Amino acid sequence: SYVLTQPPSVSVAPGKTAKITCGGSNIQIKSVHWYQQKPGQAPVLVIYNNGDRPSGISERFSGSNSGDTATLTISRVEAGDEADYYCQLWDVDSDRLFGPGTKVTVL
Partner 1 sequence: QVQLVESGGGVVQPGRSLRLSCAASGFIFSDYAMHWVRQAPGKGLEWVAVVSYDGSDEYYADSVKGRFSISRDNSQNTLYLQMNSLRVDDTAVYYCAKDGLLLVLGDYFDYWGQGTLVAVSS
Q: Which residues bind partner 1 (CB under 8 A)?
A: 31, 33, 35, 37, 41-45, 48-49, 54, 86, 88-90, 95-101
Residue 63 burial by Cβ neighbours in a 10 Å radius (0-12, 13-18, 19+): buried
CB of 45 vs partner 1, minimal distance in Å? 5
C-beta of 3 vs 107, nearer to partner 1: 3
- Which are the contacts of 45, defined by CB distance < 8 A and separation ≥ 6? 33, 34, 35, 54, 57
CB of 14 vs partner 1, minimal distance in Å? 26
Distance CA 61, CA 81 (A): 10
CB of 95 vs partner 1, minimal distance in Å? 7
C-beta of 48 vs 64, nearer to partner 1: 48
